Chains A and B, each alone.
Chain A
């Protein structure tokens, strides 16, 4: 393989990155715009950030979003892990195929349908829509993602580890707590992070299931944009982007460090 940095490579690389990041870059730049007009540059300013943190409606929405995401991610991870354990471990029970098929179905279900059906359910049983209905709805759909993530790790789990724990005196429940869970922890953490992110940026299902009392951040942004894009939204988006970027960088740094450590360990084992 003879790879050189040619003009062709440089051009396609640039085009690709421009395609991906130009919109985001514009958004970030205009969040520091002095002018109220989004597309006209009038000098640098951070006033929209200041204004954003004084806007109670936005802060409320952010708080609701965060609470929904934390709660729903936690419950969804617990339920998803339990579902994964049953699917991988329970062997062939009656209706197993049906069960595992049904747990994955919401992944491919259009969000609009999930949202609509949940709305119908909440109306039918007469719950007041608000914070709790959004949380329940988010648990419903992010649970399947959690189940998928956890079960894909569970498949490669060596069951003789659990047998060894049982052999050394653990009841099956104790061996699950002392051996299975700690080993599964990374998968469970990524399931939680995935569920958290999904809940954070969901618009469609939240719109269907929220009530007058509770508005999430994506809903707030969407409703604001319908009245016209303000630099305030740009500022908010910039904050979100920085948070996400920070998260991704931290995650890759941690992975990288684990990798280096593993290599060092292997060297140690060989000596």
Chain B
């Protein structure tokens, strides 16, 4: 990515910016077809050691197929997949140094928690002593030592999830794949487990690849996110870049809320682009961060929380538009104002509710001003 918003000079983990780094996983022009259906369409992607990499997209976008190709359950129709520089296309799943945590957890119901964790180690013919030590270590890592002798159906959902994690970590894989690992947990537990996952990943220094359709989950845990749609990679970047500088409307819309303003670029300088968006309204100023040329159609994407709502006409702002409050969505900590502009478009602005509801400033049908800085949005090509 050419844009890195908050570049800290020291010790930032960003191997993808260092051309000397060798990737752990490399997808080289990988295509996967099922019959006439193309699930993965010519994808090239590098994943580096110690990354927590998220594949994010709606169901059917091909993210699970990517993961199953890494695990060895599917073979690419074209292209190569290499792990640590070695082509793994013809290595069967049981010989790959890759383990997977399944969405359904896939715990063996006829074995105890202990036996589940030891399964892969026994298969690899570890000495007995080492197996029991490793199992002990894994159980304490996921805080399930007390439950070693239980069967999976005697555990709660969160405990099963941790057993599945311990089992997939036991063999010290070079790469751990997590298929929607938190999908079956409720919201509170999911958030807690996200941090546990991050802690474990950091502690063990392993490379994790997670598949998820939950954008918040991806934003929380991942060092980088690959947004996928329809078998293609749309954008691969850090969570901050994905959120603040989406490279297309699809990404802007998929991650979080966004206002999209269609228009035509009326003028362009080194610093600034002006977007003509409606008759009788002033042009919108946008910092020039994109390769749009004057005269082209383009689209401004701006997040609701970057737009201010005021009753008085604001001074010293870069852009301001008049509107009428059409609707208010109160969700406790935040309120989203749906403001109708002169051309009928609905524009969303979000304010945090620092004051109590009774003192709320605006109500329905109030005339208000919307304002934002010219660095607040991004310009997307059509």
Could you tell me which A residues sit within 8 Å of B by CB distance? 158, 160-161, 163-171, 174, 179, 182-183, 262, 265-266, 268-270
Show 15 A/B contacts (Cβ-Cβ < 8 Å), sorted by A.
A158-B104, A158-B106, A160-B102, A163-B73, A166-B93, A167-B99, A169-B95, A169-B124, A169-B171, A171-B94, A183-B110, A265-B154, A269-B155, A269-B159, A270-B156
B140 CB to nearest chain A CB (Å) = 20
Interface centre among A165, A262, A270 (most CB of B within 10 A): A165
Interface residues of B (CB under 8 A from A): 71-73, 92-95, 98-100, 102-104, 106-110, 119-120, 123-124, 150-151, 153-156, 159, 167-168, 171
Are A168 and B110 neighbours in the complex by a CB distance under 8 Å?
A: no
CB atoms of B120 and A169 under 8 A apart? yes
In the bound complex, what is the Cα–Cα distance between A168 and B98 (angstroms)?
9
**Known contacts A160-B102, A265-B154, A268-B150, then 13 further A-B pairs from the complex at CB < 8 Å, ordered by chain A residue:** A158-B104, A160-B104, A161-B106, A163-B93, A167-B168, A168-B123, A169-B120, A171-B92, A174-B123, A262-B153, A265-B151, A269-B153, A269-B156
Known: A166-B93, A265-B153. A179 touches B108 (CB 8 A): yes
Main secondary structure of the interface of A (DSSP, over half): helix
Measured CB to CB, the closest approach of chain B to A2, in angstroms, equals 38
Residues of B within 8 A of A170 (CB): 94, 123
A166 B94 Cβ-Cβ under 8 A: yes
Shortest B179–chain A CB gap in Å is 9
Assuming the A-B contacts A169-B120, A269-B156, are A164 and B110 also in contact, with contact meaning beta carbons closer than 8 angstroms in the complex? no
Give Cα A234–Cα B253 distance, bound, in whole angstroms.
Answer: 81
Nearest CB to that of A181 among chain B residues?
B110
Complex-state Cα separation, A165 to B104, whole angstroms: 14
Once bound together, how far apart are the Cα atoms of A174 and B154, in whole Å?
26
Residues of chain A with a CB closer than 8 A to B99's CB: 167-168
The CA of A109 and the CA of B90, in the complex, are separated in Å by 47
Q: In whole angstroms, what is the CA distance A165 to B99 when docked? A: 10
A235 to chain B, nearest CB (A): 44
Q: State how many angstroms separate the Cβ of A41 from the closest Cβ of chain B.
A: 55
- The residue among A166, A171, A182, A270 with the most chain B CB atoms within 10 A of its own CB is A166
Minimum CB–CB distance for A267 against chain B, Å: 9
Report the separation of the CA atoms of residues A270 and B153 in the bound assembly, to the nearest whole angstrom. 11
Given contacts A166-B94, A168-B123, contact A160 B110 (CB under 8 A): no
Within the complex, the shortest CB–CB distance from A209 to chain B, in Å, comes to 39
Is the CB–CB distance between B100 and A164 below 8 Å?
yes
Q: Which residues of B contact A262 (CB under 8 A)?
A: 153
Task: Give CA–CA (A166, B93) in the complex, Å.
Answer: 6
Which 8 pairs of residues, A with B, have the shortest CB-CB distance?
A168-B120, A169-B123, A164-B106, A160-B106, A265-B154, A182-B110, A160-B102, A166-B93
A168 surroundings in chain B (CB, below 8 A)? 94, 99, 119-120, 123, 167, 171
Check A165/B155 contact, CB under 8 A, given A160-B106, A182-B110, A183-B109.
no
Which of A164, A265, A268: most chain B Cβ within 10 A?
Answer: A164
Closest chain B CB from A170 CB (angstroms): 6
Q: When the two chains form the complex, which single residue of B109, B119, B124, B150 contacts A165, counting CB atoms closer than 8 Å?
A: B119
Q: Evaluate contact between B154 and A269: CB separation under 8 angstroms.
A: yes
Cα–Cα distance between A183 and B109 once the two chains are bound (Å): 8
Q: How far is the CB of B66 from chain A (nearest CB, A)?
A: 16
CB-based contact B100/A167 at 8 Å: yes
Report yes or no: B154 in contact with A163, Cβ–Cβ below 8 A: no
Report yes or no: A167 in contact with B71, Cβ–Cβ below 8 A. Answer: yes
In the bound assembly, the distance between CA atoms of A171 and B151 in angstroms comes to 24
